[in-house]
Amino acid sequence: MRLFAFSDRGRTLALRIAQAMGVSLSSDPLVTRGALPSLTEAAFREARALVFVGATGIAVRAIAPHVRSKQTDPAVLCVDEGGRFVIPLLSGHLGGANDLAAEVASRIGATPVITTATDGRGLFSVDVFARDRGLVIADMEAAKDVSAALLRGARIPFYSELFYDAAALPPELEAEGDLAEIREGPAIAVTWREAQEARVPLCRLIPKRVAVGIGCRRGTEEGAVDFAVRTAFAVAGLDPRSICCAATVDLKKDEPGLRSWCGRAGLPLHIYTPEQLMEAEGDFAASAFVLETTGADNVCERAAALAAAGAYGGATRRLFGRTAQGGVTIAAYVHEAPL
């Protein structure tokens, strides 16, 4: 959290907020107007939340050049110098600004001012639903359509490839067992697939639960890994945004292309010994050549199965088996823990 104040009174309140929230400040929150633009730019890149103690106009002008997307922008709050009101200005749902505003307000004895439409009426928020369950919203415009339908008083058909308790769904959602049978939309579908057989506009929520196992030749470049993954997922009709991690054998742990691809994609790379791979349970395509080369009869499938199970523990399912492309082998498994 980064705090900004523009007067001695504001600085006192900013320090109080930091103490109440358990935040260790790396610098004095009191800043000059001249320094604010560069400090705000840095905070947008590095911090999860920005808190301005002062006028909303100052905060709005400071953040305006840096606002990009509600999926990536940090939470931004504004607190008046008197400590009476806490106002979420940006990323109320996905960035958690609404929740943060409520928490800050409760700790300093202020009133949170929540202005997002669904919250104002106490309605279901697809943004918060996705955020709290590790789901990626495929299309923000589709999410807006869902919110607009809710504000009109509509119930939203809901379908999920993951098991869920229908009785625990918010009252605004109506459980559906077959996506193709939904007649009125927009609808929500929890799925890692790209192609859908829906007859209505669809807001896809992508479970980030797919582990990819990767094997490659020595010296394989990052571009070749990326192309192989994208090709395999396209052929299988899967959305690559569903990938939560990659995995391989320890023999490949220092491959620059594989490491670089994981780093650029923001994915952890799980490394397994041949002995660990051979302990994976399941039906895997065995290769005598791969066994001789790596010590395991299959790298990509076994690694994907282990990584998918390790992410949550429990049941996994193969989405596609060993697929070769340009010296890279790919396999994908998904973890099927309940939603």
Is position 150 within any domain?
A: yes
Residue 120: inside a domain, yes or no? no
Tell me the whole-structure pTM to 2 decimals: 0.77
pLDDT at position 126: 92
Which of 115, 135, 167 terminates a domain? The answer is: 115
The predicted pLDDT at position 312 comes to 61
- Res 71: pLDDT: 84
- Of 207, 234, 266, which closes a domain? 207
183 & 232 share domain: no
> Do 51 and 146 fall within a single domain?
no
Based on the domain organization, do 225 and 302 belong to the same domain? Answer: yes
What distance lies between CA 219 and its chain's CA centroid?
A: 31
Q: How far is CA 87 from CA 43, 47, 113, 174, 259, in A?
A: 18, 18, 5, 33, 42
- Please report the pLDDT score of residue 116 as a whole number: 85
Residue 327: what pLDDT?
92
Name the residue range of residue 309's domain. 210-335
**Tokens representing residue 167 in the block:** 């009785």
CB burial of residue 214 (10 Å; 0-12, 13-18, 19+): buried
State whether 161 and 203 are in the same domain.
yes
Q: How many domains does the chain have?
A: 3
What is the CATH number for 198? 3.40.1390.40
121 lies in some domain: no
User: Going residue by residue through the chain (339 aa), what tens digit of pLDDT does each one get?
Assistant: 999 999 999 999 999 999 999 999 888 999 998 999 999 999 999 999 999 999 999 999 999 999 998 888 999 999 999 999 999 999 998 899 999 999 999 999 999 999 987 777 888 899 889 989 999 999 999 999 999 999 999 999 999 999 999 889 999 999 999 988 898 889 999 999 987 778 899 999 999 999 999 999 999 999 999 999 999 999 999 999 999 999 999 999 999 999 999 999 999 999 999 999 999 988 999 999 999 989 999 999 999 999 999 866 668 899 999 999 999 999 999 988 888
Task: Extract the tokens encoding 185.
Answer: 């939309």
Cα Rg, the chain, nearest whole Å: 24
Domain boundary, last residue among 115, 143, 161: 115
Q: What is the distance between the alpha carbons of residues 26 and 21, in angstroms, rounded to a whole number?
A: 15
- Are residues 203 and 269 located together in one domain of the fold? no
Residue 93 domain-assigned? yes
